[in-house]
Amino acid sequence: MSAVIENHHEDHHHGPAKGLTRWLYTTNHKDIGTLYLWFSFAMFLIGGAMAMVIRAELFQPGMQIVEPEFYNQMITLHGLIMIFGGVMPAFVGLANWLVPMMIGAPDMALPRMNNLSFWILPFAFFILLSSLFMEGGAPNFGWTFYAPLSTTYAPPSVTFFIFSVHIMGASSIMGAINVVVTIMNMRAPGVGLMKMPLFVWSWLITAYLLIAVMPVLAGAVTMMLMDIHFGTSFFNAAGGGDPVLFQHIFWFFGHPEVYIMILPAFGIVSHIIETFSRKQLFGYSSMVWAMLSIAILSFVVWAHHMFTVGLPLAAELFFMWATMLIAVPTGVKVFNWIATMFRGSITFETPMLFACAFVVLFTLGGFSGLMLAITPADFQYHDTYFVVAHFHYVLVPGAIFSIMAAVYYWIPKWCGNMYDERLGKLHFWLSFIGVNVTFFPQHFIGLAGMPRRYPDYALQFADWNMVSTVGAFLFGVSQLLFLFIVVKTVMGGKKATDQVWEGARGLEWTVASPAPYHTFTTPPKID
Amino acid sequence: MLLKYLGKFQYLSIAALMLIANPIKADWFALNMTRGITDISNEVFELHMLIFWICVAIGVVVFAVMFYSMYAHTKKKNPVAATFHENTKVEIAWTIIPFLILIAMAIPASKTLVKIYDDEAGDVNIQVTGYQWKWQYNYLEDDISFFANLSTDADEIYNLVPKGENYLQEVDEMVLIPVGKKIRFLITANDVIHSWWMPDFAIKQDAIPGFVNTAWTKVDVPGIYRGKCTELCGKNHGFMPIVVKAVEQDEYDQWVSEKKNVAMKLAELTTKEWTTQELVDRGEDVYALNCVACHQTNGQGISGIFPALAGSDIVLNNKEKNIEILMEGVQGAAMNSFSYLSEVELAAVITYTRQEWGNAENGDGEIVIPKDIVDYKQPKI
């Protein structure tokens, strides 16, 4: 510890460098967090623009704007960009900013790797997006890239897609290792595991999930690469392989991936509800155990994405029961949040509005998830818009609302200025209405029988598709308002206090606003 | 209950819209899963509604508490927050109660699932094969085989003419099944994964190349039932519908014998003398059904994915290679074997591509007759 204290007088040498090199060479967790957040926002807008193309085409039956071939490229890139470029880097950005400050550490444990794990990401997405301009077009096989559509029948750009996924995977693994090492080794004295803020806990679990499953994804795409270029037949039945093997591998990655995108949201929402209810979080330890149970269960439910591939009865039963079981810890979390609000002293600033919407709409997504777990009923739901409605409910008002809530909640700490509360609330209501008008009708469209990934549809689905498109454009445009609010807050505004929020707890609120470039070079004292 | 009422209103709304002769059948009431027409599909529907109402009930209770709290426990009304932050009894209760509810859901769901998983042979066994982008049906007992293609006109899809009532839900040849018999479908695919979905029977089975999945149904109500492909299978994924017609046994038997007659007549065509023009005319239809999706009407293909036929060296000057590609497909590419087409169809479509788009003038202009295909099929020494 003495080394840390000796460094103290050198602080003034360590302000941020000037110009572009500050961002290129930075090993500062706050700078890297900022990079991740801006990058994810850019990807969110690109992926969102693709969603607008999709919804515009679906506004009416018939082909109007794009050809089916290009439509398939849009759905594929929309999914990949939103998941790997939007949601995941946003959470990594939040982890970078917050985890060290929450555990009283001066920085991430592996700062140079931190720089590397960010700076390879833009290249991954440059490669992926450049495939749009290649002969044969971008990947067109859906974000789930089922073989053999993604191998034998894929456009040549699939090879670029594979390398791009490899780079994204490497970035995620490095980011995850960094989080684990930081949390395990750099907690200030007195911050025991069961005293860690829930966001830290959620990221610790998420990081383990990432380390466990990203190599599996890398394996899947490498097997594709071998099938395409080196004459193997992993997924080619004619050569003795099995296309269903691909799906098993993919979803063994894919299901934990789903929780990678929601566990940090659980952490964020727990903090925000606690703060704006001005009441200690209800059931802290059960929250931790619930997250652990969800993470462990996530490894034994993958085949519920594959109920129609012809699994044996025993497998169908097992995966149905295991999937239903996830409702228990998830329910515990929802009950805990509500119990935290109960008899609290609640105010509804923008972060709290997003958090409340999260609880309600994520729960709706949970209900449709429970319905989807029921195998016989899934035979009707599978691969319809009901599924699209389900996962967008858990990902948009779930993961993405939590990210927006986090930005509103912590941005005063990041840049020292309060955001414009009136605009924030306007952004919330526009987003809330937009998201529901977009995705709620998709339940109807799906139940009535419209399959997903259809560029055109039968006439009975016309009305609700039109409504959904109107909602999508409302939601899309509202995000430009979000961009405006964030830029306005960074540029200036009412100065934030160090405490920022009356009910906020945690070490990050004990440092100045904006947080100095280096925080906790001397470990804080924890009671 | 509400949704059941809506189901009734649905018919009224359709009738009303028919009266005002709206060209587009607007359907604000297409809200819920179809009940379908088989015992299994009814059971699945009941299961769906059961889980739905359980979720609604849970939602009402949970959100009631939450909304009450948001209303009554604001800072204005409750300036000082309570301090409780755990309660072991409550926490155990809300772990165990959901668990019990889940068991109540799992029991009927498992029972229905066991019923669906009955893979004994049916009275009629039909092999269903998914192709990019059409379905093939083989009646195993009767040796009948045909393809079902989307019959919606491209002009409807591109909004040049008004859309018909069954827009994107109609095919050129329906699958006939007899009522009251157990029908078993053996589902597979020839190229990529497809999925055969018939909502009215509650059947959705993936069609996987190299593997056979089974599903069965017993339909008691004669009628026409419409379904779709539900696994992304390439650019025309949305354009390969499924139409099944359930008919009385007499009508079914008559259809079977007619289909057999047609097959015999087609076999006779193989030995007929063909003129180039006859082959080209016939080939144009075959091309429109089988080739146009990739190679396009103008024979130019799609750059980078599907090669052009117009001006292709093989189509111009290499008749033998031309036949071989259609019979064997191209390894590692989207071009599959089309050996399942009849000799006449193959000869006609090859001749068509060798005559069209200036190919006859630029190349050797040789035609292919059905006998060439028959010869190709002879075992090679």
* Mean pLDDT for all residues in chain B: 88
Residue A440, both tokens = 């709620």
Q: Provide the pLDDT for residue A511.
A: 94
Which domains are assigned to chain B?
33-116 (1.10.287.90), 124-266 (2.60.40.420), 270-377 (1.10.760.10)
Would you say the C-alpha torsion A337, A340, A344, A350 has a positive or negative sign?
negative
A349 vs B330, more confident: A349
Indicate the DSSP class of residue B227. Answer: E
Q: What percent of chain B has pLDDT over 90?
A: 57
Residue B199 CA to residue B230 CA, distance in Å, equals 11
In this complex, the residue of B28, B132, B231 whose CB is nearest that of residue A383 is B231
Residue A390 CA to residue B238 CA, distance in Å, equals 21
Please, which residues 113-132 of chain A have a Cβ atom closer than 8 Å to chain B?
A: none
Using CA atoms, how far residue B79 sits from A51, B55, B83, in Å, is 44, 34, 13
**Which pLDDT tens digit goes with each residue over A227-253?**
999 999 999 998 999 999 999 999 999
Residue of A nearest to B186 (CA): A310
Mean pLDDT, range B52-77, rounded to an integer: 96
Residue A60, both tokens = 């009416």
Residue to mutate among A153, A246, A445, with most B CBs inside 10 A, is: A153
Angle at A99 between CA A95 and CA A102, to 5 degrees: 145
* Contact in structure between A172 and A88 (CB atoms under 8 Å): yes
Burial class (CB in 10 A: 0-12, 13-18, 19+), B164: middle
Residue of B nearest to A136 (CA): B304
Domain ranges (residues) in chain A: 2-8+37-510
Residue A319 CA to residue A326 CA, distance in Å, equals 11
Element (H, E) at A165: helix A158-185
**Which pLDDT tens digit goes with each residue over B348-372?**
999 999 988 888 888 888 888 888 8
Residue A427 bears catalytic tag: no
A375 and chain B: CB distance < 8 Å anywhere?
yes
Give B260→chain A minimum CA distance, Å. Answer: 32
Instruction: Please give the interface size between A and B, counted as residue pairs whose CB atoms are below 8 Å apart.
Output: 308
Q: Provide the pLDDT for residue B18.
A: 43
A447 contacts on B by Cβ (under 8 Å): 31-33
**Per the CATH hierarchy, to which homologous superfamily does domain A2-8+37-510 belong?**
Cytochrome c oxidase-like, subunit I domain (1.20.210.10)
Residue A339 CA to residue A361 CA, distance in Å, equals 17
Other C-beta atoms within 10 Å of A190: how many? 12
B27 vs B210, more confident: B210
A345 contacts on B by Cβ (under 8 Å): 73-75, 78-81
Residue A505, both tokens = 């707890």
Burial class (CB in 10 A: 0-12, 13-18, 19+), B231: buried
A370 contacts on B by Cβ (under 8 Å): 51, 55, 105
Residue A425 bears catalytic tag: no
Q: Which amino acid is at B289?
A: L
Indicate the DSSP class of residue B329. Answer: -
CA-closest candidate to residue A407, choices A84, A97, A27: A97
CB contact under 8 A, B44 and A379: yes
Residue B340, both tokens = 């399942």
CA-closest candidate to residue B335, choices B242, B210, B234, B208: B234
In this complex, the residue of B158, B195, B236 whose CB is nearest that of residue A308 is B195
- The contacts of residue B160 (CB under 8 Å, 6+ apart) are none
The 3-state DSSP class for residue B144 equals strand
* Contact in structure between A505 and A275 (CB atoms under 8 Å): yes
* Contact in structure between A174 and A105 (CB atoms under 8 Å): no
Residue A225, both tokens = 């690469």
B65 contacts on A by Cβ (under 8 Å): 338, 342
* Contact in structure between A96 and A114 (CB atoms under 8 Å): yes
Residue A168, both tokens = 């994204």
In this complex, the residue of A278, A282, A356 whose CB is nearest that of residue B86 is A282
Cα A120 from chain centroid?
19
On the CB side of A374, CA atoms within 13 Å amount to: 31
Q: Provide the pLDDT for residue A13.
A: 52
Residue A393 CA to residue A369 CA, distance in Å, equals 10
A284 contacts on B by Cβ (under 8 Å): 85-86
Residue A411 CA to residue A427 CA, distance in Å, equals 16
User: How does residue B17 score in pLDDT terms, banded at 50, 70 and 90?
Assistant: very low
3-state helix, strand, coil split of chain A in percent (to 5) is 70, 0, 25
Q: Provide the pLDDT for residue A374.
A: 96
Beta bridge partners of B127: B138, B186
- Complex ipTM more than 0.95, yes or no: no
Catalytic one of A40, A164, A171, A368:
A171
* Contact in structure between A139 and A73 (CB atoms under 8 Å): yes
Token look-up 């980078």 returns: B304
Give A1→chain B minimum CA distance, Å. Answer: 35
Angle at A493 between CA A30 and CA A118, to 5 degrees: 20
Per-residue tens of pLDDT for chain A, all 527 residues:
334 444 444 445 567 888 889 999 999 999 999 999 999 999 999 999 999 999 999 999 999 999 999 999 999 999 999 999 999 999 999 999 999 999 999 999 999 999 999 999 999 999 999 999 999 999 999 999 999 999 999 999 999 999 999 999 999 999 999 999 999 999 999 999 999 999 999 999 999 999 999 999 999 999 999 999 999 999 999 899 999 999 999 999 999 999 999 999 999 999 999 999 999 999 999 999 999 999 999 999 999 999 999 999 999 999 999 999 999 999 999 999 999 999 999 999 999 999 999 999 999 999 999 999 999 999 999 999 999 999 999 999 999 999 999 999 999 999 999 999 999 999 999 999 999 999 999 999 999 999 999 999 999 999 999 999 999 999 999 999 999 999 999 999 999 999 999 999 999 999 999 999 999 999 998 86
* Contact in structure between B128 and B185 (CB atoms under 8 Å): yes
Q: What is the pTM of this model?
A: 0.88
In this complex, the residue of A68, A346, A379 whose CB is nearest that of residue B235 is A68
Residue B24, both tokens = 């587009």
Indicate the length of chain B as a whole number.
381
Q: Provide the pLDDT for residue B341.
A: 85
* Contact in structure between A181 and A111 (CB atoms under 8 Å): no
Burial class (CB in 10 A: 0-12, 13-18, 19+), A422: exposed
B28 contacts on A by Cβ (under 8 Å): 463-464
With 70 as the cut, is the pLDDT of residue B20 above it?
no
Residue A154 CA to residue A145 CA, distance in Å, equals 9
A279 contacts on B by Cβ (under 8 Å): 81-83, 85
Token look-up 């460098």 returns: A17
Residue A304 bears catalytic tag: yes
Q: Are strands B242-247 and B223-229 parallel, antiparallel or unpaired?
A: antiparallel
Cα B137 from chain centroid?
12
Indicate the DSSP class of residue B200. Answer: G
Residue of A nearest to B88 (CA): A283
Give B222→chain A minimum CA distance, Å. Answer: 21
